[in-house]
């Protein structure tokens, strides 16, 4: 069975419209089919963990394309290919690490990008964001318009800025400014990229105190994914900060209706009561 056909079957039968992650059993079948190394032996746990982590980064886009099987299939195909790259990355980073330890230079070309991409992924999983950012910068030199590299550069820069700011306001703000620029560049390559829209909104609302700048991005997310509760919370916060209390109450009311989380429903209800008291 071809990879494309298997992906069609996954879209048709293995993933419900409300699911926010791919079925890992289906992912494992894809990996086994495309990588003979795993044909008759278990896929290492650390590889499966990496795949699961990678799937999670796409959950907003999966939700956004829930009712568009064509777009969803293309997204799954892209994710699946990234899964299949993981094993190759594992081999390459071991090779490159040995070269670095031996004092040898990295080879030129695409293989160097593989090293930097994979190193960044692993470093982010370990929450070593400064080191991950450094690897992303090297990878961007080889692929400057890559949406995902731009997004993750913004993601890392934002976390670095947030961590530094309490001790060094100026440097922290510089990093937050970098985060905004990277998110903006990512959105130039893909204006509908929900994770980048959400990331830049978080920076504007909670770090820079510019909620009015976040509202258009949050409304764009809402257009694509009406049940994105996290984005609705940020949108409600932005409306509250701009003293548009009626709009904030409307968003919290919507959250009460759609969330399955008792904790989030309670938070929305409590916020509504506080806003009603302020009117």
pLDDT over 70 (residue 84): no
Per-residue pLDDT averaged across 60-74, rounded? 64
pLDDT over 70 (residue 42): yes
- What token pair was written down for 219? 């409304």
Would 94 be classed as within a structural domain?
yes
Percent share of the chain, pLDDT over 90: 48
Would 74 be classed as within a structural domain?
yes
Q: State residue 142's pLDDT score.
A: 87
pLDDT over 60 (residue 252): yes
Mean pLDDT (the chain) is: 79
Instruction: For 128, list phi and psi in degrees, rounded to 5.
Output: -95, 75
- What token pair was written down for 226? 């009406």
Would 142 be classed as within a structural domain?
no
pLDDT digits (tens, 9 = 90+) for 121-149: 878 887 889 989 998 999 999 889 999 99
pLDDT over 90 (residue 49): no
Using pLDDT thresholds of 50, 70 and 90, give the confidence band for residue 9: very low
Would 96 be classed as within a structural domain?
yes
162-192 exposure pattern, b = at least 16 Cβ within 10 A, e = fewer: bebbeeeeeebebbbebbbebbebbbeebee
Per-residue pLDDT averaged across 270-275, rounded? 94
Q: State residue 155's pLDDT score.
A: 96
Q: pTM value?
A: 0.65
Q: State residue 227's pLDDT score.
A: 87
- What token pair was written down for 102? 């031996």
Q: How far is CA 24 from CA 47, 54, 55, 89, in A?
A: 12, 11, 9, 20
Would 245 be classed as within a structural domain?
no
For the ranges 35-44, 130-139, 163-172, the lowest mean pLDDT is seen at 35-44
**Angle at which helices 147-164 and 194-202 pack, to 10 degrees?**
20
pLDDT digits (tens, 9 = 90+) for 50-62: 666 666 666 666 6
Give the integer Cα–Cα distance in Å for 76 and 157: 28
Place of tokens 């909104």: 201
Q: State residue 10's pLDDT score.
A: 41
Q: How far is CA 129 from CA 119, 122, 139, 163, in A?
A: 11, 10, 15, 10
Would 45 be classed as within a structural domain?
yes
For the ranges 5-9, 134-138, 205-209, 214-218, the lowest mean pLDDT is seen at 5-9
Q: Which residue has the higher pLDDT, 144 or 120?
A: 144
SS (H, E, C) the chain: CCHHHHHHHHHHHHCCCCCCCCCHHHHHHHHHHHCHHHCCCCCCHHHHHHHHHHHHHCHHHHHHCCCCHHHHHHHHHHHHHHHHHHHHHHHHHHHHHHHHHCCCCCCCCHHHHHHHHHHHHHHHHCCCHHHHHHHHHHHHHHCCCCHHHHHHHHHHHHHHHHHHCCCCHHHHHHHHHHHHHHHHHHHHHCCCCHHHHHHHHHHHHHHCCCHHHHHHHHHHHHHHCCCCHHHHHHHHHHHHHCCCHHHHHHHHHHHHHHCCCHHHHHHHHHHHHHHHHHC
Number of Cβ atoms within 10 Å of the Cβ of 104: 10
Per-residue pLDDT averaged across 189-196, rounded? 92
Give the integer Cα–Cα distance in Å for 97 and 92: 8
Q: Which residue has the higher pLDDT, 114 or 136?
A: 136
For the ranges 4-8, 74-78, 170-174, the lowest mean pLDDT is seen at 4-8
Q: Which residue has the higher pLDDT, 233 or 10?
A: 233
Using pLDDT thresholds of 50, 70 and 90, give the confidence band for residue 276: very high
Q: Which residue has the higher pLDDT, 203 or 3?
A: 203
**What is the total count of domains within the chain?**
1
Q: State residue 239's pLDDT score.
A: 97
- Rounded to 5°, the CA angle 39-40-44 comes to 80
Would 63 be classed as within a structural domain?
yes
Domain range enclosing 97: 1-105
Would 32 be classed as within a structural domain?
yes
Q: State residue 122's pLDDT score.
A: 75
């Amino acid at each position: 069975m071809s990879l494309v056909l298997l992906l069609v079957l996954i879209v048709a039968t293995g993933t419900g419209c409300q699911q926010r992650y791919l079925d890992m059993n289906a992912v494992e079948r894809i990996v086994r089919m495309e990588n003979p190394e795993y044909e008759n032996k278990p896929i290492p746990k650390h590889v499966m963990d990496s795949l699961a982590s990678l799937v999670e980064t796409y959950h907003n886009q999966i939700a956004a394309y829930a009712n568009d099987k064509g777009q969803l299939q293309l997204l799954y195909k892209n994710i699946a290919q990234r899964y299949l790259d993981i094993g190759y990355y594992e081999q390459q980073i071991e090779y490159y690490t040995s070269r670095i330890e031996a004092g040898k230079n990295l080879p030129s070309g695409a293989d160097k990008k593989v090293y930097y991409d994979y190193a960044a992924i692993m470093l982010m999983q370990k929450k070593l964001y400064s080191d991950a950012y450094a690897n992303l910068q090297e990878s961007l030199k080889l692929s400057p318009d890559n949406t995902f590299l731009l997004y993750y550069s913004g993601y890392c820069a934002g976390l670095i800025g947030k961590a530094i700011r309490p001790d060094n306001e100026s440097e922290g703000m510089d990093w937050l400014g970098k985060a905004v620029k990277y998110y903006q560049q990512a959105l130039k390559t893909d204006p509908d990229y929900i994770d980048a829209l959400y990331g830049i909104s978080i920076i504007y609302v909670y770090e820079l105190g510019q909620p009015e700048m976040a509202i258009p991005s949050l409304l764009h997310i809402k257009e694509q994914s009406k049940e994105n509760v996290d984005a609705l919370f940020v949108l409600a916060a932005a409306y509250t900060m701009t003293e548009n209390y009626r709009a904030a109450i409307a968003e919290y009311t919507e959250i009460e209706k759609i969330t399955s989380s008792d904790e989030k429903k309670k938070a929305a209800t409590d916020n509504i009561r506080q806003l009603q008291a302020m009117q």
